[in-house]
Amino acid sequence: MKLRIPRPRLRVSQGESAFAAGNARWTNHDLDPIAKNARRWGVLSIIEQSAYWISDALQAATWQFASGMIAVGLTYREALGIVALSFFIISLVISANGAVGAIYHVPFPVIARASWGFWGSYIAIISRVILAVFWFAIQNVNGGNAVRVMLGAIWPSYLDIPNHIPESQGITTNGMVGLLLFWLLQVPFLCMHPNKLRWLFTVKSILVPISWLAILVWAFVTVKGGGGVFDQQAPTVSGSKYSWLFLANMTSVMGNYCTMSVSQSDVSRYSRVSAKWQILYIPMLPAVFTFFSFIGIAASSAGQIHYNLESIPWDPMVLISYWPNRVCRFFGAASFVLAALGVNISANSLSAANDFNALAPRYINLRRGQLLCAVLSWCLVPWKILASAGNFLNFMSAYAVFLGPIAAIMMFDFWVVNRRRYDSLALYQPNNPTYRYTFSIPGFAKTISGTNWRAVVAFVVGVAPCIPGLIKSVNSHIDVGVGMHPFEFGWLLGFVATSIVYLLLSWLFPAKETQVDRAILPDEIYDAGTVDGLESDDPDRKGVVTDTQEKDMDVEKAV
């Protein structure tokens, strides 16, 4: 008997549920709503999802949040206050949009169809996927730097390896080896289904805080009072300059996590608990991120004094590299490797995978989407961006102003315009009139656009005021005058302006076909359908008909 080895297929496994019936262009197994038996975030999901967010906070960016604020003249108190306020605001949006995923168990690209229309949702999807791939690439460099320090602790001469890469590239030979090893470390995790990664976030949320708390203890034991940063009593700026700095730094902090304000449903869709638990993030996120930012301030300030450095080592890898004990250097750097690994999957690769999945559901699923994100990250040559292309990095950081309006449209469409009532089946049927978005001009027939023009107009209104400042951030030689100010609080401005315009247009020109009488939840469709909606990473259970569904099928056949 010959052993048959299955050949790889170009097309991914398509769903067989009512959501996917004759609709391969818009869904596959990974885009279908998560069915009851595939929702693995159960009774302990509150702890697990909290662990997910704590793990997301444990990364180099959180450590460095306050550094830029202190460098421009603010005190550590104001820096921590800005972090707390920024995360309080962003947590409101994360909680509100995450609840949609917990109720309907669908990812961001599908939810976007309700407020943008099937074709209009591509505006939101493409905007997010660009940012997700970019930050995945940048996080690779951060993780690679941590691997480099780990290898240097094990093998000191590794750091003295001759460099064969031109200096203009912004990376050394040993740095490239660290980057490659970190990238390879991620690959097995990118092939796993999100349901199987809960343990990673839990382990990270236990081990990394222990390491960071040890660093905090070291800072206050080594240097009494934590260092010179804590001696600053008043900011060095005042008046209008202080106000604009305050707003600009708020935008900077929120910009780092604005992706999650639209992406939370990609994680919350796997939950079995009530959507009300999403409220937990409102007090938790500001507290967690502010505390870990405080650790970064204390440790970096203490390091400057203890090692007699000219400037504060805000980069944690620079600080750790000064530690004389090789074991401490190894485990200190290892905590940042684990931190970068977790956040790159949860906040970047998973988001990008859902977007690629929605763009080409016939050929891309979650696994392929994450691997595609990993491959494309090399095309961005992130080490060169970080080393020599500051203007481009500023542009991509500022690119977050596009996500504020997107988050606003999704949030207010669900909670206000449609009063928490979506038709989950219609979100997968482009020919269904519910989210087809037709419009008419007096004297002409109705036109089917597939795009909600109200969302597009509101999006443009929210983004337009920030464009001059965005141009300035890319090319500092261009003088835009006071046009820089709207950009300095671009996320807030875009969110508020878009919200007002979208609500006003939805009131004046209501899309009545989208306002369904009651919510149509996925469980109703699965219970009345023919095929169970199981996660695609369970090949032995795909297309398995449940007992209840088998009975329904027998009744239908009898009729």
Write out pLDDT tens, residues 521-531.
Answer: 998 888 876 44
Residue, of 500 and 224, whose pLDDT is higher: 500
Rounded distance between C-alpha atoms, residue 380 and residue 375, angstroms: 10
Q: Rounded to the nearest 5°, which phi and psi values hold at 520?
A: -105, 105
The band of 555, judged by pLDDT with boundaries at 50, 70 and 90, is very low
Q: For residue 416, what is the DSSP state?
A: I
Is the pLDDT assigned to residue 251 strictly greater than 60? yes
Which range has the worst mean pLDDT, 52-61, 62-71, 92-101, 410-419?
Answer: 52-61
| Straight-line distance from the first to the last Cα atom of the chain, in angstroms, rounded to the nearest whole number | 45
Mean pLDDT of the 497-507 span = 97
Q: What is the per-residue pLDDT across 372-393, written as a single tens digit (0 to 9) for each?
A: 999 999 998 888 776 654 545 5
Is the pLDDT assigned to residue 255 strictly greater than 90? no
Which range has the worst mean pLDDT, 75-89, 302-316, 416-430?
Answer: 302-316
State the pLDDT at residue 546: 40
Mean pLDDT of the 212-236 span = 78
Winning range, highest mean pLDDT, from 322-326, 337-341, 455-459: 455-459
The domain 43-388 having CATH identifier 2.30.110.10: the answer here is no
Segment 327-333 long-range contacts (CB within 8 Å, at least 24 positions apart): 327/153, 329/149, 329/150, 329/152, 329/153, 330/150, 330/153, 330/154, 331/211, 332/149, 332/211, 332/215, 333/146, 333/147, 333/149, 333/150, 333/153
Residue ranges per structural domain of the chain: 43-388
- Tell me how crowded residue 391 is: count the other CB atoms within 10 A of its CB: 12
The band of 558, judged by pLDDT with boundaries at 50, 70 and 90, is very low
Which range has the worst mean pLDDT, 59-73, 170-184, 288-302, 421-435?
Answer: 59-73
Is the pLDDT assigned to residue 52 strictly greater than 70? no
State the pLDDT at residue 22: 57
Q: The whole model's pTM is what?
A: 0.86
Rounded distance between C-alpha atoms, residue 507 and residue 315, angstroms: 49
Which range has the worst mean pLDDT, 239-248, 285-294, 496-505?
Answer: 239-248
State the pLDDT at residue 180: 94
Residue, of 256 and 76, whose pLDDT is higher: 76
The band of 551, judged by pLDDT with boundaries at 50, 70 and 90, is very low
State the pLDDT at residue 196: 79
State the pLDDT at residue 263: 85
Mean pLDDT of the 198-210 span = 80
Residue, of 371 and 399, whose pLDDT is higher: 371
Is the pLDDT assigned to residue 330 strictly greater than 90? yes
Tell me which residue has tokens 């109200």. 454
- Tell me how crowded residue 519 is: count the other CB atoms within 10 A of its CB: 15
Winning range, highest mean pLDDT, from 3-7, 124-128, 228-232, 479-483: 124-128
Cα 202 to Cα 54, 115, 197, 443, 505: the distances in Å are 9, 34, 9, 61, 44
How many helices (H) and strands (E) in the chain?
23, 2
Average pLDDT, rounded, for the chain: 82
Contact 97, 267 (CB under 8 A): no
Mean pLDDT of the 232-241 span = 73
